[in-house]
Amino acid sequence: MTTSLQTLSRPDSNTIRIFPSTRESVCALILEQERDVLDHVSSVLAGEACCVAGYTNTSDAWRGLQEGFLPDIALIDVSLRNGDGASALAWFLGLSPTVPTIALSCSFDPSWMIKAIKTGALDVLVPPFDRQDLRSSFARCMDFSPTIKRKEICEIPLTANTSFVICSDKMRTIASRCEVMATSDMPVLILGESGTGKEIVAHYIHKMSAYSKGPLVKVNCAAMPSDLLESELLGYEQGAFTGALKSKPGKFELSDHGTIFLDEIGEMSPALQPKLLQVLQDGTFSRLGGRTTIKVDVRVVAATNIDIKTAMAEKRFREDLYYRINGFSIQLPPLRNRREEIPVLIRYFMQKFAEKYARRPVNMSKELLAACMQYDWPGNLRELDNFVKRFQVLGDERVMMEELMRSCPVPLPLTPDTEITTPDEGLKKLLSNVKGVAEAKVIAAVLQRNDWRRKRTAAELKISYKALLYKMRQHGILAPAPAAAIHASPSPV
């Protein structure tokens, strides 16, 4: 998108301010020490209908911010001569933590790339970058600006049956950093609870990287004993051990010029970890029983759901292996820490399963959606996926509500005085009481919303009128007496 430009002010040789003629534009701040690079970046962004303020040092940039320039996006040089560039990046992000920021440099150095990402940059541009590289990076990061309207959901197909679904700021940030990490061949360590989507992120990194033309090979390090895992990773020659009737290539060979995904690497046997470390150091190894050395070019992505630092402290995981696989790290938040995604993901899964099973999506009531929002989802996305699938197949909201009640470890009580049976009286009795408390709370809430009209409440809960009366007596739920009345009239039905 192009527009006529007007240079409104150039107070000194260290500042550029270019504004497009349109009133609706994105404001970009550029801090770049090289004047030629500053002019080039400014002209490219101005050609995209941006309001540009460019500076060659932090003092002028600080003055521009004090004068009221409010950027929607920033591009910061991390190789400034007068001071540490990473410090300049941290300085700006400290002032404007919600502004998406791109790190720039005139020299390629992987160490500063890592530092820039850890500091908070969403993207990194390394030389040589042309106009198209700048436009692409700018377009990706514009989606993170709080002043720009974003799509509610973004689905990125990865395989025939797998997609990366992005519908929150946290996941948009992770997706952007994955794109940056994909530009190098450094190993990536993905951390997070079971079901948070670690394998999906590994697929995404592979797809965005230069290794995407090669295969993505997955190895579950917790699925087999150490001896079998070693032969699975490195392969073996005929006669290497009993049962080795013919030679077999290992997973590292099969993933040559591609990506190997070492899932659950934190569960790997300590005896096998030194052998893996040797492969990761130079990409060379020998098959079991082999005499020749094999060299491969493989991008390594690893994942674990354990506390890796605790495992190192307990000597269950080698520190040198950790530092080898942790070129970049990504921490995936659990679903309970991004609850704003739950309604969007439910709609997405419903549509997906409706298409799969050739039926219309089942409507979900506000009560069931509210219960889904309150539930902690210990299985994260995997559990939510299966929950929606069952709901789509069964179509019975009462069953799904009861399932959430059974799964919820400690539902909120009906009143502050409600007591739950202690575990000393037996687990079955405890679970029965917990379920009863949650059931009573739901029934009372729906009755109150319907002004205690019991027939309407029974219909909304999808139970019979007699069943509702029984449950009200069972839980001691009574309609409130009318105010200022000696003889209470019967409660409406």
- Please indicate, yes or no, whether residues 198 and 275 belong to a single structural domain of this protein: yes
> Could you tell me the CATH number of the domain that includes residue 166?
3.40.50.300
**CATH number of the CATH domain containing 372:** 1.10.8.60
Report yes or no on 102 lying in a domain. Answer: yes
Joined tokens for residue 303: 């994942």
For residue 41, the enclosing domain spans: 5-142
Long-range contacts of the stretch 88-95 (C-beta < 8 A, 24+): 88/31, 88/58, 89/116, 89/119, 89/120, 89/121, 90/119, 90/120, 91/58, 92/29, 92/31, 92/61, 93/119, 93/120, 95/65
Q: Are residues 186 and 308 in the same domain?
A: yes
Last residue of a domain, one of 331, 360, 386: 331
Q: How many domains does the chain have?
A: 3
Return per-residue pLDDT of the chain as tens, 493 residues.
333 333 333 334 456 655 543 434 678 899 888 888 888 888 888 777 678 888 888 888 888 877 767 788 899 988 765 555 667 888 888 777 778 889 887 666 677 777 788 788 888 888 777 788 888 888 777 766 554 444 457 788 888 778 898 888 888 888 888 888 888 889 999 999 999 999 999 999 999 999 999 999 999 999 888 889 999 999 999 988 888 889 999 999 999 999 999 999 999 999 999 999 989 998 999 999 988 999 999 999 999 999 999 999 999 999 999 999 999 999 999 999 998 889 889 988 888 888 888 887 788 888 888 889 888 899 999 999 999 999 988 888 888 888 887 765 444 333 334 344 444 555 555 556 666 777 888 888 888 888 788 888 888 888 888 788 878 877 778 766 444 333 333 333 4
Separation in Å, CA 163 to CA 69, 157, 403: 39, 4, 27
Q: Are 212 and 269 in contact (CB under 8 A)?
A: no
* Structural domain ending residue among the three candidates 94, 111, 142: 142
Nearest to 74 by CA among 82, 64, 423: 64
Q: Does the residue 473 lie in any domain?
A: no
Q: Phi then psi for 243, rounded to 5 degrees?
A: 100, -10
The burial of 475, by beta-carbon neighbours within 10 Å (0-12 exposed, 13-18 middle, 19 or more buried), is given as middle
Q: Tally helices (H) and strands (E) across the chain.
A: 19, 18
Q: How many CA atoms lie within 13 A of 58 on its CB side?
A: 19
- Say yes or no: 193 and 306 in one domain: yes
Task: For residue 307, give every residue at least 6 positions away whose Cβ sits within 8 Å of its Cβ, in sequence order, or none.
Answer: none
| Rama region for 59: left / alpha / beta (φ>0; ψ in -120 to 50; rest) | alpha
My answer on whether 138 and 186 are in the same domain is: no
Q: Give me the helix-helix angle, 427-449 and 454-461, nearest 10°.
A: 120
Q: Is residue 441 part of a domain?
A: no
Would you say residue 493 lies in a domain? no
Encoding tokens for residue 115?
């530092």
Same domain for 112 and 162, yes or no, is no
Does 95 reside within a domain? yes
Judgement on whether residues 167 and 253 belong to the same structural domain of the protein: yes
**DSSP code of residue 267:** G
Please tell me whether residues 230 and 134 are part of one structural domain: no
Note whether 349 and 304 are same-domain residues. Answer: no
Rounded Cα distance, 268 and 262, in Å: 10
Which single residue is written with the structure tokens 């000597």?
A: 315
Cα torsion angle, 338, 343, 344, 350, sign: positive
Q: Residue 375 domain-assigned?
A: yes
How far is residue 442's CA from residue 449's CA, in Å, rounded to a whole number? 11
Model pTM above 0.85: no
Q: Residues 324, 377: one domain? A: no
- C-beta atoms surrounding 9 within 10 Å: 11
CATH code of the domain in which 33 resides: 3.40.50.2300
Task: With residue 346 as reference, give the H or E element that holds it.
Answer: helix 342-356
Q: Where does residue 94 fall: left (phi above 0), alpha (psi -120 to 50 degrees), or beta otherwise?
A: alpha
Same domain for 321 and 340: no
The answer on 342 and 195 residing in a single domain is no
- 350 found inside a domain: yes
Q: Choose the final residue of a domain: 293, 312, 331.
A: 331
Same domain? 315 vs 350:
no
313 falls within a domain: yes
